Amino acid sequence: MHTRFILVLSLFLLWSCKDDTVTPGTQAPVQSNPGETKTPASGPVPCDTLFASHGHCFVPKTDKIYNVPRGTSPMKGAKHPLVTIVEFTDFECPACKDFTNNTLASILKQHKDEVGVVFKNYPLSFHKGALKISLAAQEVRTQKGDEAFWKFHDVMFKGNDSGITDEWIRSQAKALDLDMSKFDKAMKSRIHQQAISKDMELGKQVGLEGTPWIFVNGRLARKKSVEDLVTEALAEAKKAVEAGTPREKIYGFITDHGKLFYEKPVEAQTYKLQLEKFKGGFMKNCTKTASDFQSFYGIAYDCSKKITVCAAFIKCIETSIYKK
């Protein structure tokens, strides 16, 4: 039950919560013990009331634009992309595999002259072979360059029906005509560990919580689909080019403001559309009879009756669910 609650919660926490407050007069004041939680009230949740008072807590009023340097990382796609996708990934991560083989492949096919992809290593410790594959991929690149790296990358994400073993990894490197003596030495010495660790440190700096962790022209792909972000980023980049920004400088122009990230207010009309779009899913799920959904919305409603600050409201929901 706990796991299913978290899945329901995740539908909403993909929309980051700003520290905004509910419109004055719409809610009771915060109790003196806001950390206390109650059992959700029985009966149907008044969905309209809940959304009217706290629906905006799930839809951010600003976009965070992260300055994620491309550096010397492997890159493919357009030579001077209007849109740069930076992906922190793990070669043994199922979600990364799905993203690479489906979503990313489709985007690159559709926007081959407009989109570029930057690879960043983030092998998770509980994936026993992920680091080995990252080390191998780095050596492939060192010996044969980016083209060979991406070939190796694609083979690794397609996988092996018999399982990814050290022998199989080595055989795929050998198929790319590497100097296998140098390859074996690099794997044994972990000569590329520092480069991988550098990527991982950058991932931590930009708030990585799991893989794939994806940025589209600096915008974290959590609130919207990568496809939607690419569409929006293309429109923004084309406007910048028309205004005189050289295409090869677009990424820096959009993302590099001298700090890790900056917050860009969402235009009022855009925010209104986002809120309306979110409301559709919110109301549909709120009226579902499944126990997990009813429990989630019951918790949300109880939290809404005593908390007016969005960040505290979301925290109240999280705390209540984790107590289940």
- The pLDDT of residue 105 is 96
Of 207, 216, 221, 196, nearest to 90 by C-alpha is 196
The string of pLDDT tens digits covering residues 200-238 is 999 999 999 899 999 999 999 987 899 999 999 999 999
**252 pLDDT above the threshold of 90:** yes
- The pLDDT of residue 39 is 41
**11 pLDDT above the threshold of 50:** no
The string of pLDDT tens digits covering residues 63-85 is 889 999 999 999 999 999 999 99
- The pLDDT of residue 324 is 60
**10 pLDDT above the threshold of 80:** no
- The pLDDT of residue 203 is 96
**Torsion angle of alpha carbons 262, 268, 270, 275, nearest 10°?**
100
**48 pLDDT above the threshold of 70:** yes
Q: What is the mean pLDDT of the chain?
A: 86
Q: Which CATH class is domain 66-265?
A: alpha beta
pTM of the model: 0.73
Categorize the per-residue pLDDT at 88 as very low, low, confident or very high, splitting at 50, 70 and 90.
Answer: very high
- The pLDDT of residue 42 is 52
Between 15-29, 73-87, 242-256, the lowest mean confidence (pLDDT) is in 15-29
Residue 138 near residue 183 (C-beta atoms within 8 A)? no
The residue ranges of every structural domain in the chain are 2-61+268-322, 66-265
**198 pLDDT above the threshold of 50:** yes
Chain centroid to CA 294: 27
**31 pLDDT above the threshold of 80:** no
The string of pLDDT tens digits covering residues 104-130 is 999 999 999 999 999 999 999 999 999
